[in-house]
Amino acid sequence: MDLGLGGKTALVTGASRGIGLATVRTLTEAGMKVVAAARTTTPELTETGAAVVNADLSTLEGVRGAVSGAEELVGDLDLLVNNVGGAVGDMVGGFEAFDDDRWQEIFDLNFFSAVRAIRCALPGLKRAGGSIVNVSSIGARIPGEGPHPYTTAKAALTALGSALAEQYGPQGVRVNTVSPGPTRTSLWVGDSEAGARVAAARGITVDELVKEVIGRLRITTGRPVEPTEVASVIAFLASPLAASVNGADYVVDGGVTKAA
């Protein structure tokens, strides 16, 4: 299906792996001129053919550099995908395990990175009549299923998307959210990532942890979400086919959250 994205421009943050990498691939295959922002450039990211801007997106300077670098490469953006996020160091433990500094670190990456990127890109998005897609999480809907700072940051991101859609929709900029459930990324299956640390703290393997999560959350598809499945929804929301979709939160979770 032709999504009508050929020749349009995009910036994808957190693009070196997982959902970000899958999104870069999907958008470039749809004909977009994509700039990928990431802390490091991986061989997989280079293979996509996207332009790469290296930046620490947890900082204001890094976000400014990523957006300005993207605009220098491709001009005004038709699409901003705020995907960067995830674990920051050791995120094992309940509420009392996180002090103010840890809360700030996690919010900087999972919430303020999007706030800053939107602020920087908004003038160009207005000129282009573009759109924004924020990658949140079902943790925003079931906050007890993850580290409190992370799920709270994602809830703030979901709320921000709704608020901005209301404000900027009349100005020609659509804002939507995609909320994945547990996804088959290195965050869950990597040997040194958050899933591995949680599994180690529990005295079980990562595979056992994933099976446990599938059962506890009642994922009706019986498996984690694939990054490409999230990327496909992002591409649709960016396309003219979704021209009347604004302020939506698309859940891609294998049936974890149940429709009323």
Any domain includes 77? yes
Range of the domain at 149: 9-183+226-252
Q: pLDDT band at residue 240, thresholds of 50, 70 and 90?
A: very high
Find the CATH number of the domain harbouring 170. Answer: 3.40.50.720
164 has pLDDT over 50: yes
Any domain includes 208? no
Any domain includes 178? yes
* 128-161 per-position pLDDT tens digit: 999 999 999 999 999 988 899 999 999 999 999 9
Active site residue 250: no
Any domain includes 170? yes
* Helix spans in the chain (H): 18-29, 43-47, 60-74, 100-107, 113-128, 148-168, 186-189, 194-202, 206-216, 227-238
Any domain includes 209? no
Choice between 84 and 88, residue whose per-residue pLDDT is larger:
84
Sign of CA dihedral 172, 178, 184, 185: positive
- 98, 111, 112, 150: which one is catalytic? 150
Any domain includes 24? yes
Any domain includes 200? no
Number of domains in the chain: 1
